[in-house]
Amino acid sequence: MPRPPRLEYPGALYHVTGRGTRQGAIFLDNQDRALLLSILSQALRTCDARAFAYCLMGNHYHFVLQTRQANLSELMRRVNSVYSLTFNQRHGRSGHVFEGRYKALHVDRDAYLLEVCRYVDLNPVRAGLVESPVRWAWSSYRANCGAVPSPWWLATRDVYAFLQQRPSAESTPAAEGGRRYAAWVAAGRIAKTPGALYWKR
């Protein structure tokens, strides 16, 4: 049976998740995690896209991505195929790293973008791995709350603009935006985002 086509158009926002085959680990050490972020950054540059949030767990990842062109499939093919090849080479393995295709949920920019970012950054807390999202080094939370510098491909300023309901990302001071984001995440530690993809490990 043919797979349904992805909904792709310029400016589209997605919550993208990939999980290890048979729910196995896709990261064996922190070098693997750094490698995936490096590959993601290269793919975002090549495909003219950006990220609003990310979280690397044990056997899966979460990305909140915006494509300026209708090319999510191309972007994720680059991410998953390059990572799988390099992961297998590093660890002397063969075969599939990821369980089938990535999953992608279309995100309504106005209604759910901030909810999905908060959900993604809270994944390690909900999984019981840390008590606070700031203690998880492999998510966008520390950059979005201003604890560490934001990488060029993470649209932290635009997250702040959405929090302030301002049209311009540059109109929100970084310190103020970071405090507001931290408060937003703290307020949502109980609720789960409708339709979000959540795996514990």
**pTM, entire model:** 0.90
CA distances 72 to 50, 90, 94, Å, are 11, 27, 26
Q: pLDDT by residue (tens digit) across 135-159?
A: 999 999 999 999 999 999 999 999 9
Q: 194 pLDDT exceeds 50?
A: no
Q: pLDDT by residue (tens digit) across 18-64?
A: 999 988 999 999 999 999 999 999 999 999 999 999 999 999 999 99
pLDDT bucket at 168, cuts 50 / 70 / 90: low
Domains of the chain, CATH where assigned: 12-187 (3.30.70.1290)
- Greater confidence, 136 or 174? 136
